[in-house]
Amino acid sequence: MIIVLRPEATEKQIEHIVQRVTKLGLKPLVSKGTERTIIGVIGPEDILRATPLEVFPGVEKVMPVLSPYKLVSREFRKENSVIEIGRGIKIGSQEIIIIAGPCAIENYESLYEAAKSVKASGAKALRGGAFKPRTSPYTFQGLGEEGLKYLKDVGDKLGLPTVTEVMDTRDIELVARYADVLQIGARNMQNFVLLKEVGLTKKPVILKRGLSATVKEWLMSAEYILAGGNMNVILCERGIRTFEDSTRNTLDISAIPVVKQASHLPIIVDPSHACGRWGLVGPLARAAVAGGCDGLIIEVHPRPEEALSDGAQSLTPESFAELIPPIKQIANVLGRKV
């Protein structure tokens, strides 16, 4: 249920409604736009229907949300959400943000080398995995807290906000201590306990689409985070599993406009995991920008042939630098910038 307030509604009136809704045993979430303030109400709608909130001062109308995802939907918020990920960098605005770095943090030197090169080419945030979910238990699993310390130090030195994956509820506090953005990987998209816990933090969250998840299931997972009180969610399309085997996954470009119509949340694209082949990252990145994405997250390694994780899909610093000019051109045509 959504309570739409009048443009002239006062803070006192808003607080009165919030208190009334809370007293009913429901959870109110206030969203302030440029023109209107709305209050999303989580809980049994029959309780709200029995309470004539339309007569409260400041209320314009009360309306149900038809989609199964309430807080994520365009019905809840007509305007695009803009999420700040740290150091003044915002995702969801006119600027298309590029996040880049190695798949896994292997050592301090290679992380710093990668970060310095991607920043010089135009990346606005640094990615790097400290905990790595791998298909095989015998492959490199990440450096853990040591890797997180490297990530924070490099981010601080170069002035880049940092992104890293959290895999376990027991690690949320630890990862949040070092990283600016928490990433939920594809394999954990429907780990609802983990989603609830990151929903209790105020850290921005990048939620990757599951390997075989529909857009609806993906948005429902995002709803878990928003329902916990964390409205700072960024969706990430990273390819889905299909019958096609010429690429690692199949990048669903159509998901970008579909999400834009259904939700106010920003959406970025991971072309590296989508294709699994470095030579295809550029074309897919250009297609994603043309499709309307709000950002890209790209794997870059100083020496991909030596990478302990996903070397085949990692760009060299030189290849990454070559990727930027055509992306800028496409963004300019769309009235955006990189």
Give the span between the Cα atoms of 70 and 20, in whole angstroms.
20
**What are the E-state strand segments in 43-115?**
59-63, 83-86, 89-91, 97-101
pLDDT value at 75 more than 80:
yes
34 pLDDT exceeds 90? no
pTM for this predicted structure: 0.90
Domain boundaries, the chain: 2-63, 83-333
CATH topology of 2-63 equal to that of 83-333?
no
For the segment 53-74, what is each residue's pLDDT rounded down to a tens digit? 888 899 998 888 878 899 999 9
More confident call, 52 vs 81? 81
pLDDT at 63 (0 to 100): 85
CA distances from 134 to 73, 129, 177, 188, 232 (A): 33, 11, 24, 12, 27
**Band (136; pLDDT cuts 50, 70, 90):** low
What is the mean predicted confidence (pLDDT) over 66-92?
A: 93
Q: 156-185: per-residue pLDDT in tens?
A: 999 999 999 999 999 999 999 999 999 999
Q: What is the pLDDT of residue 251?
A: 98
Average pLDDT over residues 188-205: 97
Instruction: Please say if the pLDDT value at position 338 is more than 80.
Output: yes
The pLDDT of 192-221, averaged and rounded, is 97
Q: Which CATH architecture has domain 83-333?
A: Alpha-Beta Barrel (3.20)
For the chain, give the mean pLDDT: 93
Question: Does residue 49 carry a pLDDT above 80?
Answer: no
Q: In the chain, what is the straight-line distance between the N-terminal and C-terminal CA atoms, in Å?
A: 37
The pLDDT value recorded for residue 67 is 85
Cα(262)–Cα(270) distance, integer angstroms: 20
Model pLDDT, residue 134: 56
**Which residue in 185, 75, 201, 49 sits closest to 130, CA to CA?**
185
* pLDDT score at 197: 97
Work out whether the CA dihedral 240, 241, 242, 245 comes out positive or negative. positive
Provide CATH code, domain 2-63: 3.30.70.1140
Single-letter amino acid, residue 194: L
